[in-house]
């Protein structure tokens, strides 16, 4: 019998795996429908909406002060920066000039938030590639930041510290000292992170050349934040569309051109150093003054369209407000960084192994409520 015809009779089917919505690697309720051939990924199809709360629709019914509180629940790891985005949009639309003190405090807390977010990311990144100990190291340092936040604004995660026109309250008297303590502490800890994970030969082998994203693709997929900067696309909103007190400080944009998972990892480690440097430049120079300026109890934005970009820990968050001059936005859109970054997952994961998918997904640093909104 002819062997060729015998082989053609063999039936071959795609093997589907349902990764999520309850799966340890998806860090939340993300569902990935994987088509695999043995260990090799043929297709990744994200299925979203498990934590969709339609925040955009809720915003259409709420006043601008209320909207700020909803934004905490999107990217909960950069909640302060999300708040700031909405506040800046409203302030720009009203042409309010907030006091210098507010700007500086917003920037310091924003950078602390970024470090806290990257600490958590670093911990779970290690977990995803199988090094369980990193999680506790990351959390140890994050706790210190959370304590600072708790003292100043009463909350550890969803802080609601910003209001249109300034800050909810002034900083706690201990804030400056504790922040300085943290900076000194954390400077000794990042080298520890490198010793534990970055320089590990297994980790290097797992990350190098895995999940490669070229610069052209990063731009085309609308990537932003460390994901895009790992591919060599210089896109730091803090540099190009500076806001708050970021124009007063000097810092380097972390850039790597390799585009692989290791590059994205190193960009985030580098960003922690840069954030520390920003905090150091500002912490001793918090100007005296009011912590907010009075706004109307009912804020009405003028007719028009307003767009504000900020750099969260995950990338570029955009707030688009279409106002008709009433006390609610007619349409409010959040351009979330995770949403665009997720769309390139299929592109970087196809052809790799299941382990590669998990590793490259970890370097995208997805926060699912940020994607679903």
Partner 1 sequence: MTNEALQKLMSSWNSELEFIEEGSQFLNISVKAANFHQLMSQLKSNSETSFDYLFCVTGIDLGKELGVIYHLESTTHRHIIVIKVKTDDRENPTFDTVSDIWKTADFHEREVFDFFGIKFNNHPNLKRLFLTDEWEGFPLRKDYVDEVNMVIK
Partner 2 sequence: MKIALNITKTIQDLLLGFMPEGTASILAMVIIALIYLAIFSVAGLMLVLVERKVAAWFQLRIGPNRVGPWGLLQTMADALKLVSKELTGTVKADMFLYNLAPYFVIVSSLMALAVFPFTQEFQAFDINIGIFFLIAISSIGVIGILLGGYASNNKFALIGAMRSGVQTISYELSVGLSLLTMILITGSLQLSEIVEVQKNGWLIVQGHIPAVIAFMIYMIAGTAETNRAPFDMVEAESELGAGFHTEYSGMKFAYFFLAEFINMFIIAAVAATVFFGGWLSPFGITDSIPWLGVFWFLGKTFALVFLMMWFRWTFPRLRVDQLLTLEWKYLLPLNLLNIVLMALIVWLGLTIQL
List residues binding partner 2 (CB under 8 A).
15-18, 23-25, 39, 126-133, 135-137, 140, 196-197, 200, 202-203, 205-206, 353-356, 358
Binds partner 1 by CB under 8 A, chosen from 149, 221, 251, 265? 221
Minimum gap (Å) between residue 233 Cβ and partner 1: 7
Under 8 Å CB-to-CB from 57, ≥6 apart: which residues? none
Nearest to 184 by CA among 151, 141, 147: 141
Task: Give the residue with the Cβ less far from partner 1, 154 or 325.
Answer: 325
Structure tokens belonging to residue 207: 């990350």
Cis peptide before 21 (omega within 30 of 0): yes
Contact between 97 and partner 1 by CB under 8 A: the answer reads: no
Cα 122 to Cα 22, 39, 268, 355: the distances in Å are 21, 26, 9, 17
Give bridge partners of residue 16 from the DSSP assignment. Answer: 35
Contact between 304 and partner 1 by CB under 8 A: the answer reads: yes
The per-residue DSSP string of 168-224 comes to: SSPPPTTHHHHHHHHHHHHHHHHHHHIIIIIT-HHHHHHHTTSS---HHHHHHTT--
Of these partners, partner 2, partner 1, none, which one is at the site of residue 335 (CB under 5 to 8 Å by kind)? partner 1
Paired sense of beta strands 166-167 and 15-19, if any: unpaired
**Residue written as tokens 């009463």?**
154
Q: Which residues in 268-292 are b (16+ Cβ under 10 Å) and which e?
A: bbbbbbbbbbbbbbbbeebeeeebb
Helix boundaries (H) for the chain: 3-8, 55-61, 64-71, 79-94, 100-128, 134-153, 175-193, 201-207, 215-220, 225-230, 237-240, 261-283, 337-343, 345-349, 354-364, 368-372
**Residue written as tokens 């905090």?**
279
Task: Give the residue with the Cβ less far from partner 2, 276 or 358.
Answer: 358
Minimum gap (Å) between residue 164 Cβ and partner 1: 18
Binds partner 1 by CB under 8 A, chosen from 116, 342, 349, 366? 342
Of these partners, partner 2, partner 1, none, which one is at the site of residue 182 (CB under 5 to 8 Å by kind)? none
Task: Give the residue with the Cβ less far from partner 2, 203 or 306.
Answer: 203
Taking CB under 8 A as the binding criterion, the range among 29-37, 118-126, 133-141, 336-344 that sits at the site for partner 1 is 336-344
Sketch the per residue contact string, 190 through 219, with partner 1: x for CB under 8 A, - otherwise: ---------------------------x-x
Cα 104 from Cα 245, distance rounded (Å): 5
Element (H, E) at 305: strand 304-311
Contact between 56 and partner 1 by CB under 8 A: the answer reads: yes
Task: Give the residue with the Cβ less far from partner 2, 54 or 133.
Answer: 133
Residue 90 is classified by DSSP as H
Contact between 34 and partner 1 by CB under 8 A: the answer reads: no
Minimum gap (Å) between residue 151 Cβ and partner 2: 23
Sketch the per residue contact string, 307 through 326, with partner 1: x for CB under 8 A, - otherwise: x--------x-x-x-x----
Residue 100, sorted as left (phi over 0), alpha (psi -120 to 50) or beta, turns out to be alpha
Minimum gap (Å) between residue 38 Cβ and partner 2: 8
Minimum gap (Å) between residue 58 Cβ and partner 1: 9
Cα 331 from Cα 122, distance rounded (Å): 36
Binds partner 1 by CB under 8 A, chosen from 40, 61, 191, 202? 61
Of these partners, partner 1, partner 2, none, which one is at the site of residue 111 (CB under 5 to 8 Å by kind)? none
Task: Give the residue with the Cβ less far from partner 1, 126 or 338.
Answer: 338
* Site for partner 1, rule CB under 8 A: 48-49, 52, 54, 56-57, 61, 92, 217, 219-222, 224, 233, 235, 240, 302-307, 316, 318, 320, 322, 331, 333, 335, 339-340, 342-344, 347, 372
């Amino acid at each position: 019998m002819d062997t060729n015809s015998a082989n053609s009779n063999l039936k071959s089917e795609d093997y589907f795996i349902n990764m999520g919505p309850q799966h340890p690697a998806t860090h939340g309720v993300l569902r990935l429908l994987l088509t695999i051939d043995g260990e090799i990924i043929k297709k990744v199809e994200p299925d979203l909406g498990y934590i969709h709360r339609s925040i955009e629709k809720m915003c259409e019914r709420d006043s601008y002060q209320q909207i700020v509180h909803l934004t905490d629940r999107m990217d909960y790891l950069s909640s302060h920066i999300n708040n700031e985005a909405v506040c800046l949009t409203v302030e720009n639309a009203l042409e309010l000039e907030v006091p210098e003190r507010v700007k500086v405090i917003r920037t310091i807390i924003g950078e602390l938030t970024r470090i806290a977010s990257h600490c958590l990311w670093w911990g779970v990144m290690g977990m995803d590639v199988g090094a369980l100990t990193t999680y506790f190291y990351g959390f140890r340092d994050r706790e210190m930041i959370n304590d600072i936040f708790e003292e100043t604004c009463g909350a550890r995660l969803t802080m609601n510290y910003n209001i249109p026109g300034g800050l909810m309250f002034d900083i706690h008297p201990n804030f400056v000292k504790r922040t300085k303590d943290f900076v000194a502490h954390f400077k000794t800890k990042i080298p520890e992170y490198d010793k534990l994970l970055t320089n590990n030969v297994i980790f290097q082998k797992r990350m190098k050349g895995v999940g490669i994203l070229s610069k052209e693709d990063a731009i085309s997929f609308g990537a932003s934040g460390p994901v895009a900067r790992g591919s060599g696309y210089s896109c730091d909103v803090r540099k190009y569309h500076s806001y708050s007190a970021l124009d007063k400080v000097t810092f380097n944009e972390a850039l790597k051109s390799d585009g692989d998972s290791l590059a994205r990892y190193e960009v985030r480690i580098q960003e922690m150093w840069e954030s520390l440097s920003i905090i150091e430049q500002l912490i001793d120079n918090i100007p005296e003054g009011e912590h907010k300026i009075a706004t109307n109890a009912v804020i009405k934005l003028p007719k028009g369209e307003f767009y504000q970009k900020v750099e969260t820990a995950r990338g570029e968050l955009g707030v688009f407000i279409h106002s008709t001059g009433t006390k609610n936005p007619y349409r409010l859109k959040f351009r979330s960084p995770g949403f665009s970054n997720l769309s390139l997952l299929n592109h970087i994961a196809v052809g790799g192994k299941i382990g590669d998918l998990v590793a490259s997904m970890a370097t995208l640093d997805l926060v699912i409520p940020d994607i679903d909104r």
